[in-house]
Structure 1
Amino acid sequence: MTPHEFIKKWSNSKLKERSAAQEHFLDLCRILNEPTPAEVDPSGESYGFEVGATTTTGGRGFADVFKRDHFGWEYKGTHSNLDAAFAQLQRYAVALDNPPLLIVSDIGTTIRIHTNWTNSVSKKYVIPIVDLEDAEKRQWLKWAFSEPDLLRPKKTRQELTEEVAGEFAELAKSLRSRGHKPEEVAHFINRLVFCMFAEDVKLLPERMFTKMIERALDDPAEFEAFARTLFLAMKDGGRVGFEKVAWFNGGLFNDDLVFALTKDELKIIHRAAVQYWGDIDPSILGTLFERGLDPDKRSQLGAHYTDRDKIMMIINPVIVEPLTEEWEAAKGEIVGLLLKAEEAEMNAKAAGGRASSSRRGRATTARNEAQAVLDRYLQRLADYRVLDPACGSGNFLYLALRALKDLEHRAQVEAEALGLPRRFPSIGPEVVKGIEINPYAAELARVSVWVGEIQWMLKNGFAASMEPVLKPLETIECRDALIGPDGSEAEWPKADAIVGNPPFLGDRLMVGRLGEDESEAIRTVFAGRLPRSSDLVCYWFEKASAALGAHRTDRFGFVATNSIRGGSNRKSIEKAMSICPLATAWSDEEWMVDGAAVRVSLLCFARGNAPILLLNGRAVAVINADLTGDGIDLTKALKLSSNRGVCVHGSKKIGSFDIDGEEARHLLQSPVNPNGRPNSDVLAPLWNGADIVRRPGDRWIIDFGMEMKEADAAVFERPFALVVDRVKPDRLTNRNPVLVENWWLHGGPRPAMRNTLPFLTRSIATPALAKHRLFVFVPKPVLADSQLMVVLRDDDTTFGILHSWFHEIWSLRMGTSLEDRPRYTPTTTFETFPFPESLTPDVPTAAYADNPHAIAIAAAAARLNELRENWLNPPDLVRREPEVVPGFPDRVLPVDDKAAAILKKRTLTNLYNDRPAWLDNVHKALDAAVAAAYGWPADLSDDEILARLFALNQERAAAQKGD
């Protein structure tokens, strides 16, 4: 058949839909040279007519034509309402596994292709039947039959959201620059955004908002009056001109706040208004709100953009999967009851008389019981409550709401296919609860939830609720989630599931961000339940665990920084695991915070025994508290007495004691002080993590030791004067009386380190946080700062063991991490590590002299150190210059500018990133020497190494307990 013949046959056809639809479709197959459903799939399951029809539904399917992974197609008679046909198809899309295209057509005039991809903006292709001789329009249809991806809109919902958010960031910046309050700017911008959304989903009259902006572009002075009239009409319902405006309410339009806008600002809004806002992701409200605030206020909100796939990694296991299991069980029961009813009806027909009446009664009873099973499940969903106790702008809540509505919708559609009557959706925003301390964010959460509700209703073929459009949501509360108004612990409402993304804030940053009073109040309330050094997120885990223990919730799932896996933070996981299983977890995922990528862990707990435990998407026998899933639970590794006190933090200043090299040399060359001592007595080079992983800088520190009296320190005139000027003012305001009383001394001088270093020729140090676990020798009298972990040994053997893969893999598993930088601590990583027998840190260095394993390790370690130093500082690129006074390490300086440029790239981080063959070989030699010291093969797998180290740890811990 040719396109011309098709047009002649079908244009304005008077045939009825029911009698003509299949022939119409088969003719389309012929003009497109596409195989028919029977040719592709004789069973009709994946490609066929009336898919979803059953004997109980009277032969009508979910779609007139269905091709799996391609389309669902609904026919109507010529000149019928295709919007109604599309809504009908939307309502049944879930039963068709949500095909990427939803196609509606009348017999004689039009074919419409609607895209249905989850994360793409919507697009509609309209093909009048009389235009089928147009090759481009036939190509659209051809792609629908064979390559639907070619019809996928190029822009994703996320890209649209981010693009528009970027535009509005400029508007917010412009408004703030004119002195408007940041919160009011954010509030105003979100009103504009919601108006665009309401316009595109037909909640505002046709193009009302866009026409208002276009009119204001002619005379920007009129914008304020226009917008104020519209906002007031939306507040209570009313009219703008002759057009009726619905009652919106909900808090967003509770006043007539409007800002005057320039023509350039109106152009920004107009560019945004012409986009299709029906597809906008509700999370844009939080994104825009953050960008409307001052930068220093963004982090207080936590309403950052996070794509839905990440959020669903928590919502699926916590909410969707268990409720889906409940539905599958209920559906099985319904099927059994309906089969029983069908069998009773068949028997009734065959029996006749009284027997027939009795059997019909049994059939009715079975059908009523099936309906009761469905009603109980639907009521279960209607009664289900989800709490986000740190809800920000509502991203978790609106996706939880959509998930619950999807579950209800699927149950209704599948029950209808079995023969039970269908009802209008009953689940609404009342099923979600939230707690948010920021009043503007709480308002946004309510609006985001309602936008999500409206989008879901329209996408699934239902009308949005009205009168008002935005109903008040009292279930989203504006208050502190941890501390009540009277200073006691805040109470959370009862909920079936708790989900969310609590604030990320390390324990050391809490005072700076929350203030001393609030930080202390939190730690006091939770004293005895969590260590004081816990990160802020741990308090949400503690409260959710308590809710589980008190049977006020059944499940919870939170996002946390991946540092929750270790140290004192891990106590919050262990506490939850003592109450219920850790059922699903992702140990290390990328997440977005304030537009920056961070590394997080996702943890989901469930009451009862989960049938399958999932770690990083794979089934495991057990999930340990450090979010590992092998048979070795390293969280049970114990500290060993042989390692105690050997690894310590570097000196903690608490004040501006550091100075640059030029100033230090000036002090070093100053005249001797009145006490007859040089300034070199109280000056030392200072190293931090950057000095190790990059190149040593030229920073020094003023250091009066641990016990020097103020009068004695004052005799070192110029260094003391600098401390008076730079340190004293801040230290006198510190709440710690010891720091105030000893303001000229470092706040954390580390006595164990200072008392041991004089007896060593050098020490060993590693950064607390680093991409690679690197150890270096620190020469005397360089002072290590608090971000360096200092091992109080000076021998090559210990250096070699620490730099072996045996210790590195242990430290990676035992430490925590910040983004991609593993953390090393004296307690969890060093003190638990079992050194080879006779080479433990409590063994004097002199004992290594006759130990062949110690000698072999020392030789390999010395070679590693030598080769690394030669690569870092080649003799043709550097010159070594003695310090201005004796007693300090030589300065390593580039010979010229060209050498300086080369040396800048010669860092240990870059070296280990590249890991050249020579470096790999020398590490292999070192690992072999350490393996021999353990008496183990050199080719053990990582799992075998950890298993053996753990067994050795447990054996030694048990022995020291016996001692």
Structure 2
Amino acid sequence: MLRPDEQRKAASAFVERWQDRGNERQDSQTFWLDLLENVYGIDQPGEYISFEDQVHLDHTSFIDGYITATNVMIEQKGRIKDLRKGIKQSDGTFLTPFQQAQRYAMNLPYSQRPRWIITCNFTEFYVYDMERPGGDPAVIALTDLPEECYRLDFLVDQANPHLEKEMQVSMQAGELVGQIYDELLKQYRDPNSDDTQRAINQLSVRLVFCLYAEDAGIFGRHGMFHDYLADFDTRFLRNAVIDLFRVLDTPIGKRDPYLDEKLAEFPYVNGGMFADEDIEIPQFTDELRTLLLEHASADFDWSQISPTIFGAVFESTLNPETRRQGGMHYTSIENIHKLIDPLFLNELRTELEDIKKLKQPATVKRRAAAFQDKLAGLTFLDPACGSGNFLTETYLSLRKLENDAIRLIYGDQNMLALEKQIIKVSIQQFYGFEINDFAVSVGKTALWIAESQMMEETKSIVYTNIDFLPLKTYTNITEGNALRFSWSELVPANQLNYIIGNPPFNGARLMSKVQKEDLLQVDSQIDGIGSLDYVAGWYLKAAQIMQGHSILTAFVSTNSITQGEQVEILWKPMLERYGVHIDFAYRTFKWTSEAKEKASVFCVIIGFSKTATGRKVVYSSSGQPEIVTHINPYLVDAQDAFVKNRSKPLCSVPPISIGNLPIDGGNYLFEKDEMESFIKAEPESKRFFKPWYGSREFINRKPRYCLWVGDATPSELRKMPHVLERIERVQEFRLASTRAATRKLADKPTRFHFENMPTTNFLVIPKVSSEKRRYIPIGYMTPDNLASDLVFVVPDANLYEFGVLTSNVHMAWMRTVAGRLKSDYRYSAKVVYNNFPWPHVTADQQAKIAETAQQILDARALYPDSSYADLYDERTMPSELRKAHQNNDRAVMRAYGMDVATTTEGDSVAKLFTLYAHLAK
């Protein structure tokens, strides 16, 4: 790809060429070939993008453009076409360009379906992220392309081959360390003791350092460690390793003058790496000797590892907990950059690019030297640093910028005779807290490895001879519980520039008693602090140290701190008492942290400060940036408001409640075949069975069945021995409970703990629904059905109320304030429904919404054999149902006074927050 300055220039020329052109038939292919070749640097764009691929839909359906390498589908229209309006198709239907592309995508094999869909009319690009179905498109105007061309980088953004190689090598290194560790552990007398764990961890760190040092040239000669060990038979290997460690920790001038020649060749390491001579080292075996000399040393090049990835892989490989879970954990470099780039790195890169554009050589050198000094003056703290991957990657990123500056300052000079400090950025600028002692050791080692790698890069620029050993810089990673320590004692607040990291993800209900006490220790004034996730402690500690200082902070966090009840508990004091401002944020995305099993959690990234920075940016889950005027704690462009748990609706609408909660140990619930068998054995029970719907049963239109005998008379019950047996089981189940209220419930075993059985039709809202659906499936049920506590019930809801609840306006509110179960929507009565600001409607508006709501029910009725899962799958949603929802959406938006043509989902949420703030007063 082109450099940023080259790309901006090329984009400006592209805009000039295409400003007044745009015939769909004549210009489409030329337009895209020009864009890919001249703006995004694709050498042979005709081989990179394919045009007019036929879709097996009908003989007239062709995909305008498809980029296989990055899974991008393009639907191109002419200049006069409105990308948001429907266009008549050959089958008579009206589809927007996006809907047309969606239809094509649905008829492709799964492996070929697009990750992105772009609709374009030569003047605008509408970018749809298919991992956010139903989300608003990112809109990029042709005239803005020179400044916003990075927003289309995904067209050509393929994996960096160098990074891929580093990752693979680092993972292989982790595998080797794991094998060595397993073989070593067998040799310890007490492998399960804490002392053994500490000893083997320290031994592993030292062996890895030696393996890396010989391949990276740090020891002075390639293969020194291998050649030294190769002289010893297995039975003498332990003593050879002990002797080597002692020599590595001894300055040259203090060594035994009669030292063995091969030992004497090794340099003095310093830095405390080999300081403890009393660590327990067991005997080596033939298998260990082979692993070390052949597989780990002779057959593997440790100099190619990424210290960022390997540090985390190394730590997790030797961490008993993560080993039990299987696989090796690490935070990807890409994810680290999602945090550090918008926090500070993008700004530094831009500053360096501006220096490069200057014309006067003397000015370039002067400005580059000042830039280098600026880099050397920055201080970073990661207060939950683990194996140091955020610190390591940040150090590497700063050193790469520094090397660019060194290039500008010194050019290709030979610096051998120059007495000047060439490298100024130091690992001493990086501080960390970590509670695990072994992770501390690994983090220090990763930083040392990173320092050595970057020193080699500097040498290649200025041809200088800088010795890495003995270690001259010391790492500032401290073992301890960050929530119990004063951060300013590790690094004074007036010297600190950035706080970064990925604190622990423990949820509020999964924390230990000690962790709960940690939170109280941070801020005991917060009401409800026990309901916060553990990560909230780091936010509060950061806010405290930021008082009176211009420190910028960004953390990766579980997305739950921006949803549901946690928002008010955490963010009200953060904003009002500590006075912080959210400067940038990544909305919910998967944070992949495990290399083998790809276990993921759903996270957000939030950057904040005391002195609000100028530009506010919100990134979508796929990384698409959006410039906004304000970011509230729900990570939307809207005023600050805190949606509280509310027991009754904010507006005059029907009350909502959960369905029935039996507390029966499952004894009253049956699958269909189980019910049929039961009725066969007990025919009298048939009239007591009712369909039973929770979220899963409702969405799939496949009920279970409930034996409801709460209204049965004693004489009816005595005629049914199998039913009596079930009643007895329920009674026993309740009596065995540890809760007094449940034991009390055993007195009336035929009744439910909570009963909610409307006598008229009622609305059902699933508690949990897939985030892949644009609309949560909501529908009516008749009184002969029973709802479980896994759905919400709204009795006597009329068509108008159903229409508003099923609209995109309500769904946008829900997506913003609701909690999540993983990434699925978790609807809530107290947060979502009761706080929803309903519109003030006229009689005509109410009637129109009721009419469009009925259209939705009528469209569903056309497909009686389809479940809600079928009907609300974006790939299979019937056109009649989609059109009915669109009509309803427009009717509801008009009731709120929203412009149907221009209002985005973000706009509607902003309006709802304004209305909520007014109503909540």
TM-score, normalised via structure 1 length: 0.61
The CA distance in 1 between the partners of 2:661 and 2:385, in whole Å, is 37
> Which amino acid letter does the alignment assign opposite residue 540 of structure 2?
E
Residue equivalent to 2:471? 469
Task: Pick one of 311, 317, 331 that aligns with 1:306.
Answer: 331
Match of 2:866, SS state, is helix
Q: Secondary structure at the match of 1:197?
A: helix
Name the structure 2 match of 1:191.
206
RMSD: 5.3
1:508-907 correspondence to structure 2 within 5 Å = 508-510=509-511, 515-523=512-520, 525-529=522-526, 531-532=528-529, 533-551=531-549, 554-571=551-568, 572=570, 576=574, 579-594=579-594, 595-616=598-619, 618=625, 620-626=627-633, 630=637, 632-633=638-639, 635=641, 641-642=650-651, 646-648=655-657, 661=670, 688-693=694-699, 696=702, 716-725=727-736, 728=737, 731=738, 739=739, 742=742, 754=754, 757-771=757-771, 772=773, 773-776=776-779, 788-793=791-796, 798-817=801-820, 820-835=823-838, 852-853=847-848, 856-857=851-852, 859-867=854-862, 869-872=864-867
User: Equivalent residue for 1:242?
Assistant: 262
| Aligned AA (1:620) | I
Flag the 1:946–1:863 CA change in 2: closer, same or farther, 3 A.
Answer: farther
Distance 1:265-1:497 versus aligned 2 partners, 3 A rule? same
Q: Is residue 162 from structure 1 mapped to residue 153 from structure 2 by the alignment?
A: no
Q: Does 1:288 align with 2:328?
A: no
Q: Which position in structure 2 is the counterpart of 1:230?
A: 244
The 1-side partners of 2:260 and 2:789 are apart by 65
- Find the aligned partners of 2:442 and 2:499 in 1 and give their Cα distance: 20
1:460 aligns with 2:458: yes
Alpha-carbon distance change, 776 to 277 in structure 1, aligned in 2, over 3 angstroms: farther
Deviation at 1:396, TM superposition (A): 1.0
Preserved contact between residue 481 and residue 490 of structure 1 (Cα < 8 Å): no
Work out whether residues 587 and 601 of structure 1, in 8 Å CA contact, stay in contact via their aligned partners in 2: yes
Cα 1:522–1:607 shift into 2, 3 Å: closer
SS in 1 for 2:556: strand
Task: Give the AA of the match of 1:306.
Answer: T
Alpha-carbon distance, 1:458 to partner = 1.6
Distance of 1:520 and 1:714 partners within structure 2: 47
User: 1:921 matched to which residue of 2?
Assistant: 880
Give the match for residue 507 of structure 2: 506
1:180 deviation in Å? 3.1
Separation of aligned partners in 1, 2:161 and 2:327 = 33
- 1:49 maps to which residue? none
Counterpart secondary structure, 2:555 = strand
Unaligned 5+ residue runs, structure 2?
1-40, 42-157, 712-723
Q: Is the 8 A contact 1:230 1:240 kept in 2?
A: no
CA distance in 2, matches of 1:787, 1:453: 54
Verify: 1:940 aligned to 2:900, yes or no: yes
**8 Å Cα contact 2:396/2:450 also seen in 1:** yes
What does 1:469-488 align with in structure 2 at a 5 Å threshold? 469=471, 473=475, 475-484=476-485
Aligned to 1:279: 304
Instruction: Tell me, yes or no, if the aligned pair for 2:501 and 2:555 is still in contact at 8 Å.
Output: yes
Structure 1 residues 743 and 284 mapped into 2: Cα distance closer, same or farther (>3 Å)?
farther
Q: 1:210 aligns with which of 200, 207, 226?
A: 226
Residue in 2 that maps onto 1:496: 497
The answer as to whether partners of 2:316 and 2:322 remain within 8 angstroms in 1 is no
Q: Which deviates more from structure 2 when the two are superposed, residues 822-831 or residues 275-284?
A: 822-831
Q: Give yes or no for contact 1:637–1:950 (8 Å, CA) kept in 2.
A: no
Deviation at 1:451, TM superposition (A): 1.3
1:414 equivalent to 2:408? Answer yes
Q: Secondary structure at the match of 1:870?
A: coil
Equivalent residues of 2:312, 2:331 under 8 A apart: no
TM-score by length of 2: 0.63
Aligned to 1:403: 397
Q: 1:30-78 CA distances to partner (integer Å, 9 max, x unpaired)?
A: xxxxxxxxxxxxxxxxxxxxxxxxxxxxxxxxxxxxxxx9xxxxxxxxx
CA gap 1:437/1:645 in 2 versus in 1, 3 angstroms: farther
- 8 Å CA contact retained: 1:834, 1:949: no
Number of residue equivalences: 700
Distance 2:710 2:488 in 1: 44
CA offsets per residue over residues 192-220 of structure 1, 9 Å max, x none? Answer: 3322211101233531333467678xx65
Letter in 2 for 1:448: A
Task: Tell me if structure 2 keeps the 8 A contact 1:714–1:720.
Answer: no
Do the aligned partners of 1:489 and 1:525 also contact (CA within 8 Å) in 2? Answer: no
User: Which has the larger displacement, 321-330 or 159-168?
Assistant: 321-330
Q: Is this contact kept in 1: 2:757–2:786, CA < 8 A? A: no
* Counterpart residue type for residue 499 of structure 1: I
- Say if 2:248 and 2:269, in contact at 8 Å, map to a contact too: yes
Distance 1:645 1:809, change over 3 A: same
Whichever residue aligns with residue 539 of structure 1, its letter is G
Aligned-pair CA distance for 1:478? 0.9
Name the counterpart of 2:122: none
Q: Is the 8 A contact 1:173 1:292 kept in 2?
A: no
Aligned-pair distance for 1:161? 1.3
Cα contact 1:381–1:408 (8 A) shared by 2: yes
**CA distances 1:600-619 after superposition (whole Å, capped 9, x unpaired):** 32222345453433333646
Q: Which residue does the alignment assign to 1:18? A: none
Distance in 1 (CA, whole Å) between partners of 2:670 and 2:357 is 78
Does the 8 A contact of 1:236 with 1:247 survive in 2?
yes
Q: Tell me the SS of whatever aligns to 2:865.
A: helix
Aligned partner of residue 587 in structure 2, secondary structure:
strand
For residues 269 and 821 of structure 2, the distance between their equivalents in structure 1, rounded to whole angstroms, comes to 44
Preserved CA contact (<8 Å) 1:303 1:392: no
Residues 436 and 442 in structure 1, CA contact (< 8 A), matched pair in contact too: yes
Q: Which amino acid aligns with 2:437?
A: P
- Secondary structure of the structure 1 residue equivalent to 2:191: coil
Deviation at 1:813, TM superposition (A): 3.4
**CA offsets, 1:573-624, max 9 Å, x none?**
5655563543333224442234423343222234545343333364624242
Alpha-carbon deviations, 1:143-169, whole Å to 9, x = none?
xxxxxx9x9879621121123324444
Shift of 1:519: 1.4
Letter in 2 for 1:315: I
| Cα separation, 2, equivalents of 1:334 and 1:563 | 50
Letter in 2 for 1:285: G
In 2 relative to 1, CA 531–498 (structure 1 residues): closer, same or farther, beyond 3 Å?
A: same
Counterparts of 1:690 and 1:621, CA distance in 2: 38
- Report the alpha carbon displacement of residue 704 of structure 1 after superposing the two structures with TM: 10
Given the superposition, is the C-alpha separation of residues 382 and 810 from structure 1 closer, same or farther in structure 2, using an over 3 Å criterion? Answer: closer
SS at match of 1:943: coil
Residue in 2 that maps onto 1:384 = 378
Which amino acid in 2 is paired with 1:503? P
- Kept after mapping to 2: 8 A contact 1:482/1:490: no
CA contact (8 A) 1:190 1:285 kept: no
Q: Conserved in 1, the CA contact under 8 Å of 2:661 and 2:754?
A: no
State which structure, 1 or 2, has the greater radius of gyration over its C-alpha atoms.
Answer: 1
Q: 1:379: how far off?
A: 5.6
- Deviation of 1:537 after TM superposition, in Å, equals 1.7
CA deviation vs aligned residue, 1:505-548 (integer Å, no higher than 9, x gap)? 222222xxxx1243144246424347432222222122212222
